[in-house]
Amino acid sequence: MTSARQGFFSIVAAAGLCAVIVGTADASRSAAIANGPPASAAPAKYIGSAKCKNCHANKAHGDQFGRWKEEKHSQAFTSLASPAALAAGKERGVAEPQKDAACLKCHVTAASEPAERLAKGFDPKEGVGCETCHGPGEAHFKARMAAAAAAEGEEGFGDEAAAPAAVKLPDGEIVLRPKVELCVQCHNKESPTFKPFCMKERVKEIAHFDPRKPRTPDQLAGKDFDCLPDCEKCKGGK
């Protein structure tokens, strides 16, 4: 009952996989901050945020899944059933916001993608999930699962404390840094509850940095994110 493969999947189940993977990272690869999605992203499917939890819920690595669960993007579908949502819907002739594309287009992941881009088991009730900002995760999921399985045969992995986050993923596998142009596809005046959106200000509220990666105080404060030229809060996006 303790074949290598069974061992591997029990590690996944225990959400300890990242420690295993990072332990094998090539320290010569840098954790440089990429600036937005590559021009040609791989045609991967949307697999849902629950899949990301397997590897991104480790507190020592920033618990991205836990952070997302605490903030409102993860409630964006649920909140469409609130009294405020029903009232906002009524004003616009929308009786059931949770079933209407007029609201779903900004309140769930991949709302305007064709069905074939959604993996089996993808559940739009997750709201505005990881893949809204990081792009479809199928290729990343497969590549990291395969890397973890390969690493299982190696000696000496899993020494988390000795392993900095130095994994440089291949370009296009997953988007590291969403741009302001993505945020304002939803954070705009078409939203019934629109609040002026300054990325430098707002990105802090959803931050889920990996504490193992070196960052300057300005980076942690969101100051090196882009903003739009007409943003008054950060004076012309500067």
Q: Which residue's CB atom is positioned nearest to ligand HEC?
A: 137
**Number of H-type helices and E-type strands within the chain:** 11, 0
Q: Smallest distance from the beta carbon of 132 to ligand HEC, in angstroms?
A: 5
Whether the CA torsion 46, 51, 52, 55 is positive or negative: it is: negative
Nearest distance from residue 6's CB to ligand HEC, in Å?
A: 17
Between helix 4-13 and helix 138-151 the angle, nearest 10°, is: 130
- State which residue, 164 or 236, has the beta carbon closest to ligand HEC: 164
Residue 64 or 231 having the CB closest to ligand HEC:
64
To 5 degrees, how large is the angle CA 75–CA 59–CA 32?
A: 95
Least distance (Å) between residue 60 CB and ligand HEC: 10
Give the list of residues 6+ apart from residue 76 with CB closer than 8 angstroms, or none.
Answer: 106, 107, 108, 127, 128
Distance in Å, CB of 3 to ligand HEC, minimum: 19
Distance (Å, rounded) from C-alpha 199 to C-alpha 213?
22
CA separation for the pair 74, 6 (Å, rounded): 32
Residue 129 phi, psi (nearest 5): -90, 180
Beta carbon nearer to ligand HEC, 168 or 236: 168
Considering beta carbons, is residue 196 or 236 the nearer one to ligand HEC?
Answer: 196
Task: Please list, residue by residue across 202-224, b when 16 or more beta carbons sit within 10 angstroms of its beta carbon and e when fewer do.
Answer: bbeebebebeebeeeeeeeebee
Smallest separation (angstroms) from ligand HEC to the CB of 138: 8
Residue appearing with tokens 């059931």: 96
> Toward ligand HEC, which CB reaches closer, 86 or 116?
86
Min. distance of Cβ 174 from ligand HEC in angstroms? 5
**In terms of CB distance, is 55 or 118 closer to ligand HEC?**
55
CB of 43 to ligand HEC, least distance (A): 15
- Report helix, strand or coil for 42: coil
Between 126 and 156, whose beta carbon lies closer to ligand HEC? 126
